[in-house]
Homo-oligomer: A and B are copies of this chain.
Amino acid sequence: MGRQRGEEEPAAAGTRPLRRDAELNRQRIIQAGREVFAARGLQATLNDVAHHAGLGVGTVYRKFPDKQALAEAIFTEELDEIAAMAQKARAEGDAFTALAGFLEGALGRAAHNRGLRELMRHGAVEGTGLARARREITSHCEALVARARTQGALRDGVTEADIAPIAAMIDAIMALPGEHPSELWRRYLAIILDGLRAQPRQTPLPGPGSVG
Q: Which residues of A contact B (CB under 8 A)?
A: 123, 149, 155-159, 161-162, 165-166, 168-173, 175-177, 184, 188, 191-192, 194-196, 200, 202, 204-205, 208-211
Contact = CB atoms under 8 A, between A and B. Distances in A.
Given A157-B205, A205-B156, A177 B123 contact: yes
Given A157-B205, A157-B209, A195-B195, 13 more contacts: A149-B211, A156-B202, A157-B204, A157-B210, A158-B209, A158-B211, A159-B208, A159-B209, A162-B209, A165-B184, A168-B175, A191-B192, A191-B195
Given A194-B195, A209-B159, A176 B165 contact: yes
Tell me which of A159, A176, A195 has the highest count of chain B C-beta atoms within 10 A of its own C-beta.
A195
B200 A188 contact: no
Given A191-B192, A191-B196, A200-B200, A168 B158 contact: no
A207 to B, nearest CB: 8
B172 A176 contact: no
Contact of A169 (B162, B172, B209): B172
Contacts of A204: 156-157
Given A162-B209, A208-B161, A209-B161, A173 B168 contact: yes
Contact of A192 (B157, B172, B184, B192): B192
A194 B194 CA distance: 9
Contacts of A210: 157
